[in-house]
Each structure stands twice: as structure tokens, then as C-alpha cells.
Amino acid sequence: MKKLTALLTGILMVLGLAACGSSSDGDQAQAGDGEGGGNVLVVYYSATGNTEEVAQYIADATGGDLFALEPADPYTDEDLDWTNENSRVVYEHENEDARAVELTADTVDNWDSYDTIFIGYPIWWGEAAWPVDGFVEANDFTGKTVIPFCTSSSSGLGDSGQLLEEMAGTGDWQEGMRFQSGTDQQEVQDWVDSLGL
């Protein structure tokens, strides 16, 4: 009996360690990490960390999973300097063909299991930061409720959500929300509560 107990204990320890090891996947937050029932996904691109913070608050409020959009060629601080006419974002803004930003991943495991998708981004010239475009174009939002959110120091949400909806062509897109830099968790919680999810 002692041998059987020891054997079962050993098996359980090995399985426990394997489960812990399989949840780590580098720096990118992966779908499936959330504590909820798996029906809410928070997808975001964050250039300076502001959108990432709000995305984390939304995931906490909904029990949803996080999925970070990461450009294959990451933006540097110099790339993001919109006051420099020679910066990457200014060039891409002025040349729409240059806005096709390749992502390290543009699809999510278990996509069909999600009913509600939050999509977050900084506002660039009144639009969603273009790294988000690749994700929107690569996925079918049929049967999903989609809620955009953005971060900006001064610009509003504008038509950014509507433009993404047109790009997607599918999904039940809702009116989104704009958050300022330094938004606190309670403000995000109150907004999520108002959605009645």
C-alpha cells in the first residue's frame, strides 16, 4: 500500500510540474491564461505601455484572456516620434501601403470559444494604430461581440472602431471607449460593469 501511495504521489507531482511548465510562453500574453470561463478575450497593441495597462484592467474585470499583438519588427522610441517627419510612424501615416505591419502572431488558439472580444490600441492620427489592422483582417468575427477601446493623451476614439468594423466585415461591433494615460483600475471596472456582459 505504501508503494502504491508513493507511486501515485510521484505521478501527481510530475503532472503538476508539467502543467506549470506548459503555461509559460515568453513575453507575449497568450489566450487561455485568464481565470474566467474563456468567453472573453482582450486583444491589444501597446506602443508605450498605456494600452497594455488598460487591457490588463479589462482582463481582471472580466476574467478574460489577454493576447498581445507584437510587430515582427518592433517600434522603437524613435520610430514612434510623431513629431519627427522622418520617423517610421510618420512615414507609414503618409504612405498607406507601408502600414501592413507583420505581426509575430495574428491568430489566437481556441478563437471559436470566445464570445466577446475587446480590441485595444493607441490612437494614431485619429485611427487605430495600424498593427491592429493585421489582426482584424486575419480573423472572422462572425457571432462575436467586439468592443474597441483606445488610449490617448488628447484624441478621442473618433471613427477608429467604425473603421475596424468596416475592415473586419463581420461581428457585432459596439461603441468603444477612450482612456487617458494613467487611467485607474476603478474607472475601467466601472466601464466594464456598465457594459452588462
Beta-bridged to residue 116, according to DSSP, are 40, 145
pLDDT at 77: 92
pLDDT at 12: 34
Per the model's pLDDT, the better-predicted residue between 38 and 136 turns out to be: 136
Ramachandran area for residue 38 (φ above 0: left; ψ -120 to 50: alpha; else beta): left
Q: Angle at Cα 89 formed by Cα 121 and Cα 183, nearest 5°?
A: 30
The per-residue pLDDT for range 6-44, each reduced to its tens digit, is 433 343 333 332 333 333 333 344 444 444 445 999 999
Give me the mean pLDDT over the 53-78 stretch.
95
Give the least confident one: 26-40, 75-89, 121-135: 26-40
Instruction: Measure the CA–CA gap between 189 and 117, rounded to whole angstroms.
Output: 16
The pLDDT > 90 percentage for the chain reads 68
Residue 132: is its pLDDT beyond 90?
yes
pTM of the predicted model over 0.75: yes
pLDDT at 75: 92
Task: Find cell 472602431 and name the residue.
Answer: 161
DSSP code string of 41-101: EEEE--SSSHHHHHHHHHHHHHT-EEEE--BSSPPPTTTT-TTSTTSHHHHHHH-GGGG--
pLDDT at 59: 97
- Cβ-in-10-Å burial (0-12, 13-18, 19+) of 155 comes to middle
